[in-house]
Each structure stands twice: as structure tokens, then as C-alpha cells.
Structure 1
Amino acid sequence: MDAMFISPAYAQTVGAGAESGAGGLIGMFAPLALVFVAFYFLVLRPQAKRQKEFQARVESVKKGDTVVTAGGIVARVTRVEDKHVEVEIAPNTRVRVVKSTLAEVTSLNAKPAND
């Protein structure tokens, strides 16, 4: 007896929703996919490129370069080893630093901004 009280319009919309479910699902995820693509090209890819360039600079550090450690110490490179760098942080004060803790590498040829 309850089946007689269901309106025909409601019954038609339920059937139509089941048929267009796949199209609706694709339409729902398309903007999300576009956001991920934009995020990759605008954030992840440039960051990976900068990281790769920085790693190349750290690996190619040489005697005479000025470096900044992760702790904020500015020093001049006096000797380079495989995984360590000996730096001079003050006159006649040398310490060994792990290469991976270098935060910035400035070449010997680079001029300071205030000169």
C-alpha cells in the first residue's frame, strides 16, 4: 500500500542518478586532479629543482668558499673531504663540519653586496 504513495517524479530521479553516476564521479574528481597537477608544477617541481642545484653546490664546495652552517655560523672553507669540510670560523680557529649541515655556499668569486 505504501508503494502507491511514491510520486512518479521521485522514482524517475532515482533511476536517472544511477545511470549518470560514472559521469558525475569523473566530474567530481576532475577539479581535484587539476589542483594536484597545478600543485606539482607550481610547488613540487621547482622545489625539487632548487634542492638538486643546492646539493650540487654543496658537493662542489672547494677551498676558499664561504659557507653558512645550519647553526648560522659563517665560515671560510680550508679543507674538503668526502663527507666533512674543515672551516675557519675565526682567525686560527678551525672546525670540521659535516657537509650535509651546510645551509649556504658562496663562491670565492662572488662579491658582497656592499662593496
Structure 2
Amino acid sequence: MQQQLMGLLPMILIFVAFYFFLIRPQQKRQKERTQMLNALKKGDKVITIGGLHGSIVDLTEDRVTLKVSDNTRLVFERSAINAVTNADETTTPKAEQKKEEKKEEQKEASESK
């Protein structure tokens, strides 16, 4: 019985490693992408999967209309949106913390002069 368990142990360890290094991170990225697509709204500046930059002017459940230039509007599937580039949404908590630390350092440096 113990030999059978010892024989299965490497397979179980490989599965656990695959789960934590491949499956779980992919599920997390997919969840973040779904949340980003559901949070789209008119006026957002976005980048498509093909690299096209534009602003959302119309939004339906399946499609997004982007204003690329003054006279050009293009319709894309919602899933073709790769990233939202609004300044308030692209800053991460770590980036904000670094900015605050730099401001504090500059403030301390100016006060010591």
C-alpha cells in the first residue's frame, strides 16, 4: 500500500506544481480581464488587441464603437479591447505609493535646505 502511495506522490506533486504555476495565474488574469471588460464605459480611452488607440463613444453588450480621429469611428467586439489607458485607472497602488514616497523625500529635502 505504501509503495503505491509513493509511486503516486511524484504525479501528485507535478499536478500541484502545474496548478500553482500555470492554472491559477491564468485564472486570475482571466478574471481581471473580465472585470476590465465589464467596467468599460463611454469616454474611456482604450487600446485594442491590434494596437489601435481610441475613445469609446458607444457601447453595447457585445460591441464597442471607438472614435479614432475626428471623422473615424470603428466598431469592435468587446473582447478585442486589450487595455484601458485612462490615467486614473492605470495607476497601481504600488505606483501611487512610490509617488507619495518621492513627494515626501522632496519635501524633506526642501525643508532641510
TM-score (norm 2): 0.69
Give the letter aligned to residue 64 of structure 1.
Answer: G
CA RMSD, 1 decimal: 2.0
Percent of aligned pairs with the same amino acid: 34
5+ residue gaps in structure 2? Answer: 92-113
The structure with the largest alpha-carbon Rg is 1
TM-score (norm 1): 0.68
The answer to whether the Cα contact below 8 Å between 2:53 and 2:68 also exists between their aligned partners in 1 is: yes
Please say if 1:102 is aligned against 2:81. Answer: yes
Partner Cα separation in structure 1 for residue 81 and residue 90 of structure 2: 20
Give the letter aligned to residue 76 of structure 1.
Answer: S
Partner Cα separation in structure 1 for residue 69 and residue 88 of structure 2: 21
The answer to whether the Cα contact below 8 Å between 1:65 and 1:108 also exists between their aligned partners in 2 is: no
Please say if 1:63 is aligned against 2:42. Answer: yes
- Report how far residue 98 of structure 1 moved: 0.8
Instruction: Decide whether aligned partners of structure 1 residues 111 and 33 sit closer, same or farther in structure 2, where only a CA change above 3 A counts.
Output: closer
> How many residue pairs end up in the alignment?
91
The answer to whether the Cα contact below 8 Å between 1:69 and 1:101 also exists between their aligned partners in 2 is: yes
Corresponding residue number in structure 2 for 1:89: 68
Q: Name the structure where helix makes up a greater proportion of residues.
A: 2
Corresponding residue number in structure 2 for 1:16: none
Give the letter aligned to residue 74 of structure 1.
Answer: H
Corresponding residue number in structure 2 for 1:24: 3
Q: Which runs of 4+ in 1 moved over 6 A?
A: none
The answer to whether the Cα contact below 8 Å between 2:84 and 2:90 also exists between their aligned partners in 1 is: no
